[in-house]
Amino acid sequence: MIVDVNANMERWPFRRTPCDELPRLVDRMRRHGVGQAWVGNLDGIFHRDVGGVNIRLSEACRGQRDPALIPFGTVNPKLPDWREDLRRCHEQFHMPGIRIHPNFHGYKLDDPMFAELLDASQQRGLIVQLVIRMDDVRLQHPLIDVPEVDVSPLTKLIRERPELRFVVLNGADKIRSKAMGELASTTGVYFDIATQEIVGGVASFASAITPQRVLFGSHVPLFPLEASVLKMRESGLGEDTRALIESKNALRILGY
């Protein structure tokens, strides 16, 4: 079984994708052996009514068992009611974690509100997923100029919160940068493989940061699910290591 920690529902506003409708997304996952997917709602990036976005996400995932869809709600600490959004994700919707988009929501990681969000998430035992980027900057609409998230302040913040479970999405290709390398050396931080695109990249990445910190993530529907499946197939990794990346690490983070 594969656990995909980087899946999305609803439509990307700048282009249609092959499985941006939930039935098609679920069918694609079944065909490629995904038994569980951690799902965010793309509307959460652009809508100010984050509470409504999280309600729709929760309702869409409820009762879906093949594959199981695990909702990760949106929280934007620049909105005045973000603490209530976080509370609802945890207490009302029983989500195991949240997904954040600092570059789209207009804050940097040295903003005091971000530190407060990390504290609140750690206290509630929530997983925090940070999305470095959503799309290749070369594909951005001319009116949309959204830079990648600068992770420079992150290592210190994570080390000060040793109980926090933290997942970096769409940042694996930046692992050779100084800031990302320091982050990779920090306990409790995990990375998905969605943007690891060179031949043999998954094996090289796993060797650099240990396989226990690498997660299967596809970034579907913006990226083809098949791409991540093929990355694992061509990786040359042994069966035990593949099992860690494809499912066991993610299930361990969830507490299974």
pLDDT band at residue 200, thresholds of 50, 70 and 90?
confident
Q: Would you state the pLDDT for residue 134?
A: 94
Q: Would you state the pLDDT for residue 198?
A: 80
Q: Would you state the pLDDT for residue 249?
A: 98
Rounded mean pLDDT, 67-86: 97
More reliable by pLDDT, 247 or 145: 247
More reliable by pLDDT, 159 or 143: 159
Indicate yes or no: pTM above 0.75: yes
Q: Would you state the pLDDT for residue 142?
A: 81
**What strands, in cross-sheet order, belong to the sheet with 2-9?**
2-9, 34-41, 68-74, 97-100, 127-131, 166-169, 189-192, 214-215
pLDDT band at residue 83, thresholds of 50, 70 and 90?
very high
Q: What is the largest CA-CA distance in the chain?
A: 48
Distance CA 51, CA 45 (A): 12
Q: What domain range is 111 assigned to?
A: 2-254
Q: Would you state the pLDDT for residue 136?
A: 77
- CATH number where 204 lies: 3.20.20.140
pLDDT at 137 over 80: no
CA nearest 183: which of 206, 212, 213?
Answer: 213
Count of domains in the chain?
1
pLDDT at 232 over 80: yes
Rounded mean pLDDT, 175-201: 88
Q: Would you state the pLDDT for residue 10?
A: 95
Label residue 80 exposed, middle or buried (CB < 10 Å: 0-12, 13-18, 19+).
exposed
pLDDT band at residue 46, thresholds of 50, 70 and 90?
very high
Question: Pairing relation of β-strands 166-169 and 189-192?
Answer: parallel
pLDDT at 138 over 80: no
Rounded mean pLDDT, 165-191: 90
What DSSP designation does 186 have? Answer: S
Rounded mean pLDDT, 193-197: 92
